[in-house]
Structure 1
Amino acid sequence: MKREYFVDLTQRMLPGREANFEFQAKSSDATEFMPQLQHDDDVWYIISRLDMCTHNGTHVEVPYHHLKDGLDVAQFPVNQMCGNMVLIDISDKEPFAEVTLDEIMKYDDQIAAGDILFFKTGRDNLFRDPDHWCDYQYLSIDVINWIIQKGVICIGTDAAGIEDIEAKNQPGHCTLFRANIPLVESLTNLDKVESNQYLVFVLPLPIEGMEASPVRVVAIKKEGLVEEASRKA
């Protein structure tokens, strides 16, 4: 399929240069990990080790993050993180402003059960700013309950979160997780996609016992999928 049909919605991960959660990587000759992997001196053969938080970079959070009996990233059904993408642009709102149900209702006829809903805040440019990365607009509980009632299967944001930072115990997260809806944080490039024109794929590592995982989030334009299907027919 043509490259033009793909949009990567994932922040790059920079070892040793992340501002919010430490992320380190070390590459060594493969023989340091497995001495049996002998090779000629002029052969490049490395293996790397990562030291990171599960919330590094663009990541998805699942119910186990706040619910002791909730699904972890290995258990969570991957089909619930793949689907039609609807984009809601709230970038005109000031940081720390509440996104209200009245503001979101204008998107009502664009959203169907089974959709993935992404919020464009325009705050992804603050991803590595330790002083301002939490300066984002937040979703009211009324908005989150409405999302649940609409049958949305996954939500995401290009900001560091969806919560009022003054609220205790992350009520927005907990409301989503009780409805078994995962949350993707720190997306990017949402200015390059259009609502209802893309299928999006959010793919975590299936690590047992983990409440979150870095993800590669890829949006594929439906036009490209139709073209590819026609080519194969």
Structure 2
Amino acid sequence: MKITELVNKILEDAEFVDMTRMMEEGMPYWPTQPAFEAETIESQELGNESYFRKIVMCEHTGTHIDAGCHFVPGKPSVDEIPVTQIFGRAVNIDVTDTAPSGVVSVEKIQNFERKYGEITCGDIAFFRFGWDKKYGTKDYMENWPGISLEAGIYLQKKGVKAIGCDCLALDAYGSTNPNHPFLLGNGVNILENVDKLYELPEIFSVIGLACKFKDGSGAPIRLIALTDKK
């Protein structure tokens, strides 16, 4: 089957779920980073021919990808991440029973594998903490859970390309962020502020394309899940 035919078949047979948070003023952001701002420069209402805005934000705003250099100097920047990095099979691990500021153990991942099959090289692993329900509230900004360093090491050895979560960060609130330098230093990208994991099955396909910022430590990413049409 030719690629064009395959793409048309996917468009016909797949459900598409947008896992991306809306980029808008007032959205959550890391306290030491700039808030998202949108300033109208020209508009028809102002007597101009066209409408456009100036956008101010951090590279790590909204649903975004962390590049290696975010925590490890000399590792790839976001413009050097392969375009196929966030493209392929994804696993959706339910860890909604994790306590606030708690961490997911390797055993939890292995329990998932016993039930749904092995996580394999090239997979993208998502952890559904249920924190998305707090998005936009004060509670979203504190006490979020994460994964243990042992869990990160386990998945890196499995050969996953990226790990994502529905929290502000993959490492738990108040931690020393152990997974960020380890994963990013070993070729595993991190996806944060992911939406709609609660709508998705345990196994699905995902496509994510990040903004191509020169020397970027990260970038907003448009993250799309594909599942079989119901």
**Pairwise TM-score range, normalised by the shorter structure:** 0.7 to 0.9
Identify unmatched segments of 5+ residues in structure 2. 1-10
Q: How many residues end up aligned between the 2 structures?
A: 210
Identify the residue that residue 180 of structure 2 maps to in structure 1: 173
- CA drift of 1:3 comes to 9.4
Match status 1:13 vs 2:23: yes
Provide the rounded CA distance (Å) in 2 between the counterparts of 1:119 and 1:219.
Answer: 14
- CA drift of 1:165 comes to 3.1
- Which stretch shows the higher mean deviation, 91-100 or 204-213? 91-100
Provide the rounded CA distance (Å) in 2 between the counterparts of 1:4 and 1:182.
Answer: 26
What root-mean-square deviation, in Å, do the aligned CA atoms of Structure 1 and Structure 2 show? 2.1
Normalization by structure 2: what TM-score? 0.84
Provide the rounded CA distance (Å) in 1 between the counterparts of 2:39 and 2:169.
Answer: 29
Identify unmatched segments of 5+ residues in structure 1. 32-40, 225-233
Q: 1:126 aligns with which of 129, 134, 157?
A: 134
- CA drift of 1:44 comes to 5.5
Provide the rounded CA distance (Å) in 1 between the counterparts of 2:138 and 2:59.
Answer: 18
1:154-187 CA-to-partner distances (Å, cap 9, x unmatched) read: 110011112133333x211111012111000000
Provide the rounded CA distance (Å) in 2 between the counterparts of 1:167 and 1:135.
Answer: 10
1:36-59 CA-to-partner distances (Å, cap 9, x unmatched) read: xxxxx6x86212210111111111
Q: 2:36 aligns with which of 4, 14, 23?
A: 23
Question: Among the aligned pairs, what percent are the same residue?
Answer: 25
Q: Matches of residues 32-51 of structure 1 in structure 2 within 5 Å? A: 45-51=50-56
Provide the rounded CA distance (Å) in 2 between the counterparts of 1:93 and 1:209.
Answer: 35
Normalization by structure 1: what TM-score? 0.83
1:120-152 CA-to-partner distances (Å, cap 9, x unmatched) read: 011012232245423222211111110011111
Q: 2:199 aligns with which of 187, 192, 197?
A: 192
